[in-house]
Amino acid sequence: MERTLIILKPDTIQRRLIGRVLQRFEDKGLGIAGMKLMHIERSLAETHYAPHKERPFYPGLINYITSGPVVVLCLQGNRCIDIARKVMGQTFGFEADPGTIRGDFGASRSFNLVHGSDSPEAAASEIALYFTDGELLDYAPAGSDWVFPQDDS
């Protein structure tokens, strides 16, 4: 079972879209292994986004992600990373397809509502930044075999 980190960014929280965005992932069959409301401290943001440190958008990204509360999720399911990234849509809302989170709720280049890990390696390191092992649950929701059959991994 694959896992990924999702962050509902400050604009999602401020616009009161938490439930609607979370519903998109659950509707697709992904399970919640961990979830918390938190404020990302600057040092944590700098660690998380260290691969982008030399990029021109880095200072704005750090300011944005630390500007208010976020909801941090660890989602799980077969092909979880690919599924979550398709549900989120292209990075900029004005480029994202309708039916995706960013396509339906976003229009900005600066505020893009959600972060999602882009690879299994990134997911493992990002999840470890936000959750301890004791904070993550491993369970099979009722009906999960109807979403992810045993032979469909």
Residue 134 vs residues 36, 55, 78, 104, 138: alpha-carbon distances, Å: 13, 35, 22, 35, 10
CA–CA separation, 142 and 85 (whole Å):
24
Active-site residue numbers?
Answer: 115
Under a CB-based contact definition with an 8 Å cutoff, are residues 9 and 112 in contact? yes
